[in-house]
Amino acid sequence: MSSAESSNVSVQALEVTAEGLDIQAAADIYRHHGCLVVRGLMTRYLTAIRRDIDRIIEETVAGIDGATRVEVGWSTPNGALLIPAPEGYHRDKQMMCLPLSYHHSAAFFQSAFDPTALDLVEAVLGPNIELFQLGQSLVKEPVGGHPKNLHQDAAYFEHKYEGPMGQLTYVVDTDLENGCLHVVPGSHRLGVLKHEDTLSHLGLNADEWPWERALPIVGRAGDAIFFHVKCIHGSKPNRSDQPRPVFIHRYRRSDDFIVINATTTANREEAEKHVAEAKKDNQLHLMVRGFREFDLERE
Ligand SMILES: O=C(O)CCC(=O)C(=O)O
């Protein structure tokens, strides 16, 4: 194992509780390990967000027959992303990404402004922070819903500076049976690794990066896991009889921007040729803290 990984890190070393949170201590854990678990951080938003996720799941199921082919699967009319279902499943397609976004759900948008979460993000990224993209929700369907192979988000969106700080929240109690997140503490110091095309899109080579190299984070609904854009993470299939949804906010420095955007090895290879052309100009997102100064270079 590389020296950048801390093979003996326990979940206890990564976790804090939202109540009475010591922001600087939490930020230190994040900086050191590239990941941090804040127990109970998002509990107060759950009922409303769960209601909206359930509505989107209903809309998505109703739209599956009208789904059209896209590069990495199928898209339903409401914008959900589907991938091939596991063998023996009652449909040929399963849900992966739900169109839960700041355009769709006020409850979800409000939760992106959680003051404690933003204090923590500010302690790591500095005073001027924007939302990266429009938020995300992933659902694993019951009885074998997709695994997300170990990967770094930087394989999908590599940034000029620090990159986004992700915050993934469990919407239901999540454990080894229904597909809890696994993280590799310290892996954010490994640089961007070579990824392969897998069923769940870009992923690390499974022989080189077996699940045993990662630490499972079992948690309650409302627990939030912060992870660095280069922190290796992923989750196993959902073997329970209920869906396993999560939602994700991503925050970045207001001057940061994508230099490589990819979903497959082929389009990543192409994007790598254009790094020098990347600019902030068309990547202004919504500010959640601080101020964006006028920048003539950008305009
Ligand atoms: O749904 C999950 O558990 C994994 C989410 C994830 O890995 C990602 O969004 O990058």
pLDDT of residue 123: 98
Which residue has a Cα nearest atom 7 of ligand 1? 234
Q: Quick one: which atom of ligand 1 is closest to the CA of 140?
A: 1
Residue range 137-164: mean pLDDT, rounded: 95
- Provide the percentage of residues in the chain whose pLDDT is more than 70: 97
204 lines ligand 1 (CB under 6 A): no
185-241 pLDDT, tens digit each? 999 999 999 999 998 899 999 999 999 999 999 999 999 999 999 999 999 999 999
**1 bridge partner residues:** none
**Distance from the CA of 296 to the center of ligand 1, in angstroms?**
37
Residue from 157, 181, 217, 238 to probe ligand 1 pocket by mutation (most atoms less than 8 Å from CB): 181
Q: What's the CATH superfamily of 17-276?
A: q2cbj1_9rhob like domain (2.60.120.620)
Query: Concatenated DSSP letters for 86-107?
Result: PTT-SSSEEEEEE---TTT-HH
81-116 pLDDT, tens digit each? 999 998 888 899 999 999 999 999 999 999 999 999
* pTM of the full structure: 0.95
Residue from 138, 177, 187, 228 to probe ligand 1 pocket by mutation (most atoms less than 8 Å from CB): 138
pLDDT of residue 89: 86
**Distance from the CA of 138 to the center of ligand 1, in angstroms?**
7
Residue from 235, 236, 239, 247 to probe ligand 1 pocket by mutation (most atoms less than 8 Å from CB): 235
148 lines ligand 1 (CB under 6 A): yes
Query: Concatenated DSSP letters for 200-257?
Result: TEEE--TTTS-GGGSEE--B-TT-EEEEETTS-EEE--B-SSS-EEEEEEEEEETT--
154-182 pLDDT, tens digit each? 999 999 999 999 999 999 999 999 999 99
pLDDT of residue 5: 55
**Distance from the CA of 234 to the center of ligand 1, in angstroms?**
6
Domain boundaries, the chain: 17-276
10-64 pLDDT, tens digit each? 999 999 999 999 999 999 999 999 999 999 999 999 999 999 999 999 999 999 9
